[in-house]
Amino acid sequence: MEKCIIWFRNDLRLQNNLTIKNLIDRNSSVLPIYILDTNSLGSASKTWLYRSLYELDKQLKNQLKVYDGNAVNIIERLIENYQITQISWNRKFDYKSIQEEQLVKNIAKKYNVREFIYNSSLLMNPEDTLKKDGTPYRVFTPFYKNNYLGLNHNAFSINTNDIIILENKEDKNIDLLKDHLIPEHTWYEKFDRYWEPGEIGAQKRLREFLDKGLLGYAEGRNRPDLDNVSRLSPHIHFGEISPNEVANSLGDIDNEDKERFYTELVWREFSHNLLFFNPKLDTTNLQDKFNSFPWLKNKAYLDAWQTGNTGYPIVDAGMRELWETGYMHNRVRMIVGSFLVKNLLHHWHSGRDWFKDTLLDADDANNNASWQWVAGTGADAAPYFRIFNPVTQSQKFDPNAEYIRKFVPEIGDLPNTYIHDPSNAPKTVLDNSGVKLGKNYPSSIVNLKESRQRALSAFSELKKTSS
Ligand SMILES: Cc1cc2nc3c(=O)[nH]c(=O)nc-3n(C[C@H](O)[C@H](O)[C@H](O)COP(=O)(O)OP(=O)(O)OC[C@H]3O[C@@H](n4cnc5c(N)ncnc54)[C@H](O)[C@@H]3O)c2cc1C
């Protein structure tokens, strides 16, 4: 029987996983491994990873072996020690992982080990999505229409009893990673109230969404006070569920809700394509005219933003949702992002870094591409001069202020007319609601009109210098 290493990466599941399916089809025995690479992880997503590996290990009858170190050296040692004849993995699409895969391929070649490499994390390989002229798309709509409309999405199930685990002596269980992944700060413990990491949790989340969220998604997805979004993002990021399975579960895309949800899955593909074709997406503005943009650095502003103390309730609710749950609703991500880069004139990198550290779904492709989108520096981005007004956004998308009241309870007694902008509420209304600006809730840290004007002026200076 052939002996195969399966190198788990962002595909922490057994169902709908091509490496597993093909392993069983080949009738090979397996040494399942995971090699830690903390580069792309923030504090929150590390805690998720730990839990997710734990679940995968349980599914593999406690035979998942985990390592911390250089993937190439570790794999070479395992090939020698276990007379491995095959290796299999699912591709990742960031530059560092691509380089690493190349080195592992070289090792496989050296030992005459056959490699089986698949894509189980994107609906399409980036190389197959190019324009007719062979260049990558930079605009979403044609990217979507020309590649994804009418695409088939296969789902398949695995009989886990068919997985034959190779007998091995490696003393490398999950606990070895605990110190690397679980921080001393215990803020993450409350995430257990909201999430169930792992493949089983992902499946439950999908079913719940299909039962309760999908109907009305097209409109409801913009409302942080409603339960229409799937909250699948950390599960999808770690590959606990395959995007193909998610797309397949929609059946025929025959209504607006399904179409809109499918479009969001394709936005994820678009971000991964941007990262694949622009390996420096994290450091380089896709529109280089922004390289000389006069970003400000103001620690007090940044602290207020991070801790949810800007005096703009929708921004504060979003930042507190993030701290409380490790997640933030997409509409609110856009509002807090615009507020940081436009009203506070902070570089998008500072927002990206905070999100990377605190989001459970922190993802180098989605996070960098979305921040570039919000900042106006990216491909097919919101133009810089489109500046969200957090008060009108709040009135429109959280009309009854239920989301605000949940995360900013100290202003909960304000009437709906004033709760979106307490700094402009009459003193009597504040007094009657127990709100003392500057004491139990901050006054707004910037004036919206002035800060908007400041951003627009900086932008028009940029246009002059770059034209
Ligand atoms: C500033 C900013 C930073 C972001 N950082 C991340 C990040 O680090 N990781 C991340 O997964 N998403 C990120 N997003 C995209 C989006 O906000 C989340 O994917 C979405 O909110 C996840 O919630 P959900 O699973 O309930 O989404 P749903 O609305 O249920 O969508 C289903 C799935 O589609 C994908 N998706 C949805 N919206 C987007 C989008 N705009 N771009 C790309 N993929 C999308 C996700 O995989 C999501 O799970 C960011 C957005 C902004 C504006």
In 195-338, DSSP assigns E strands to none
Ligand 1 centroid, distance to 282 Cα (angstroms): 17
Answer yes or no: is the C-beta of 275 below 6 A from any ligand 1 atom. no
Answer yes or no: is the C-beta of 265 below 6 A from any ligand 1 atom. yes
What is the biggest distance separating any 2 CA atoms in the chain, rounded to whole angstroms?
80
Query: Are the C-beta atoms of 365 and 274 separated by less than 8 Å?
Result: yes
Six token digits for residue 27 = 């009738």
Q: Reduced to 3 states, what is the DSSP secondary structure of residue 347?
A: coil
**What are the residues whose beta carbons fall under 8 Å from the beta carbon of 312, sequence distance 6 or more?**
339, 390, 391, 394, 421, 444
Residue 40 confidence (pLDDT)? 86
Considering the entire predicted model, what is its pTM? Answer: 0.97
By the 10 Å C-beta count (0-12 exposed, 13-18 middle, 19+ buried), 293 is classed as buried
Residues in the chain, pLDDT under 50:
none
Residue 465 confidence (pLDDT)? 65
Answer yes or no: is the C-beta of 374 below 6 A from any ligand 1 atom. yes
Residue 191: count of CB within 10 angstroms of its CB: 19
C-alpha to C-alpha distance for 189 and 50, rounded to whole angstroms: 13
Residue 126 confidence (pLDDT)? 98
Q: Reduced to 3 states, what is the DSSP secondary structure of residue 260?
A: helix
Q: Number of C-alpha atoms within 13 angstroms, CB side, residue 228?
A: 20
Ligand 1 centroid, distance to 193 Cα (angstroms): 21
Minimum CA distance residue for ligand 1 atom 35: 265
Alpha helices in 340-389 (DSSP H): 348-358, 364-375
- Looking from the CA of residue 213, the nearest atom of ligand 1 is 30
Ligand 1 centroid, distance to 373 Cα (angstroms): 13
Residue 379 confidence (pLDDT)? 78
Residue 462 confidence (pLDDT)? 79
Minimum CA distance residue for ligand 1 atom 29: 229
Answer yes or no: is the C-beta of 233 below 6 A from any ligand 1 atom. yes
Written as one letter, the residue type at 164 is I
Answer yes or no: is the C-beta of 334 below 6 A from any ligand 1 atom. yes
Six token digits for residue 368 = 């960098």
Answer yes or no: is the C-beta of 352 below 6 A from any ligand 1 atom. no
Six token digits for residue 205 = 């989340």
C-alpha to C-alpha distance for 413 and 432, rounded to whole angstroms: 8
Residue 168 confidence (pLDDT)? 87
Minimum CA distance residue for ligand 1 atom 20: 330
Query: Are the C-beta atoms of 371 and 285 separated by less than 8 Å?
Result: no
Ligand 1 centroid, distance to 233 Cα (angstroms): 6
Answer yes or no: is the C-beta of 79 below 6 A from any ligand 1 atom. no
As a 3-state breakdown, the chain gives helix, strand, coil percent values, each rounded to 5, of: 55, 5, 40
* Ligand 1 pocket mutation pick from 231, 370, 372, 380 by most atoms within 8 angstroms of CB: 370
- Taking the alpha carbons at both ends of the chain, their separation in whole angstroms is 66
Q: Which CATH number fits domain 288-466: 3.20.20.80, 1.10.579.10, 3.40.50.620, 3.10.20.740?
A: 1.10.579.10
Query: Are the C-beta atoms of 298 and 446 separated by less than 8 Å?
Result: no
Answer yes or no: is the C-beta of 222 below 6 A from any ligand 1 atom. no
**What are the residues whose beta carbons fall under 8 Å from the beta carbon of 398, sequence distance 6 or more?**
223, 224, 225, 314, 317, 404, 420
Minimum CA distance residue for ligand 1 atom 3: 367
Six token digits for residue 329 = 């609703």
